[in-house]
């Protein structure tokens, strides 16, 4: 199917790759279908593009590229909603807030996006903990990297 992406213009998308967010994304509940697109020339970042709204797209990344110690548990209701039976069927992403300069950009570790890759079901989960911030620096200071 053809669709328009906020970042890539007109693209062809395999309909079997559409990911459904049964509850939408907080603040964008009207859009329930998204596709995960490769970010040109950069494997660390992806585009989570709404299939319903060409202007709605998020830059996302795998938080483990930056924060290997990132851990959280899913509520049983989320596990049921996403039909998760095996941890290996799950991909975790975080939304990137892009700032200038890029080194001032942040990721939202407080509300990760959990995708059941085999079922194409997803949910943005708001963690009930103060351990993570919605504005976690994308560029960790070098002394923090050494301590971990």
How is residue 126 written in tokens?
């708001």
Whole-structure pTM over 0.85, yes or no? Answer: yes
pLDDT digits (tens, 9 = 90+) for 50-72: 998 999 999 999 999 999 999 99
CA–CA separation, 21 and 19 (whole Å): 7
pLDDT digits (tens, 9 = 90+) for 81-105: 999 999 999 999 999 999 999 899 9
- Residue 18 has phi, psi (to 5 degrees) of -70, 130
For the chain, what percent of residues have pLDDT higher than 70?
94
Q: Are 88 and 96 in contact (CB under 8 A)?
A: no
Indicate which CATH number applies to the domain containing 77.
2.30.290.10
| Structural domain span for residue 41 | 2-147
3-class DSSP assignment, residue 79: helix
Query: Is the model's pLDDT at 6 over the cut of 80?
Result: yes
Per-residue pLDDT, 143:
41
Please give the tally of structural domains in the chain: 1
Q: Are 11 and 3 in contact (CB under 8 A)?
A: yes
């Amino acid at each position: 199917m053809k669709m328009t992406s906020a970042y890539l213009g007109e693209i062809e998308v395999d309909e079997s790759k559409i990911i459904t967010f049964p509850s939408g994304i907080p603040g964008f509940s009207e859009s329930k279908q998204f596709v995960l697109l490769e970010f040109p020339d950069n494997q660390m970042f992806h585009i989570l593009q709404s299939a319903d709204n060409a202007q709605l797209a998020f830059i996302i990344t795998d938080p483990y590229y930056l924060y290997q110690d990132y851990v959280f548990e899913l509520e049983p209701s989320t596990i049921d909603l996403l039909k998760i039976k095996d941890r290996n069927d799950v991909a975790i992403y975080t939304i990137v807030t892009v700032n200038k300069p890029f080194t001032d950009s942040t990721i939202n570790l407080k509300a990760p996006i959990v995708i059941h890759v085999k079922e194409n079901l997803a949910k943005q989960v708001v963690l009930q903990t103060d351990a993570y911030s919605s504005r976690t620096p994308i560029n960790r200071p070098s002394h923090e990297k050494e301590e971990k």
